[in-house]
Amino acid sequence: MLYVISIMISYLLGTIPFGVVMTKLFHKGDLRKIGSGNIGAANAMRAGGFRVAALVWLFDMLKAIIAVLIGRYVGGDVFAVWCGFVAVFGHCYPIWLKFHGGKGVSTLFGVLLAVNPLLFVFCGIEWLLVSLPSKHSSAGAMIVFLLMPVFGFCISSGVGIGFLAISLLCLFRHRENIVRLINGNESVLDWRWKK
């Protein structure tokens, strides 16, 4: 029963639309009607600049961290990863927003930080080194999606399978970004502090 409750809590945590909340709090409009319409940090950057996006990123990470910690307390490290997966799924498909959510990058990083801070640092540096000069958040994220399962299997097969599930979910959510990157017409991010 505790396992089921943990999964439900993890999903509900993931569905909290911090992107929508923060952009409204800073009077930047309805994030669902701006840019890509996604509720994640990348679209929040377009709406409100770096400050708003950073807050969205941090809170979206936090909900995944809490989910992982709950999972670890209830069922150990492997179950913790699956609670993290459910939080990412909730972020991507929130019931409150008719299942139209973000693309999972910030929540994925929350899972990484809670499971293994060293992997979080490594993947974070990689993401910054690719995303900042290219101005494509999705480009840096793609590499993280590919690296995450590899690192997971280095920890254990159970963690690796969980990480693979998260990566595949995020890759699926980025399928349109992949096409735009290949075609050279992916939208760029403006990294200004304010807008």
pLDDT on residue 180: 84
State the SS3 of 30-82. Answer: CHHHCCCCCCCHHHHHHHHHHHHHHHHHHHHHHHHHHHHHHHHHHHCHHHHHH
Q: Does position 185 have pLDDT exceeding 90, yes or no? A: no
Ramachandran assignment for 100, one of left (phi > 0), alpha (psi -120 to 50 degrees), beta (any other): beta
Predicted model pTM: 0.90
Give per-residue pLDDT as tens, 70-128.
Answer: 999 999 999 999 999 999 999 999 998 888 888 999 999 999 999 999 999 999 999 88
pLDDT on residue 132: 79
Give per-residue pLDDT as tens, 120-132.
Answer: 999 999 988 888 7
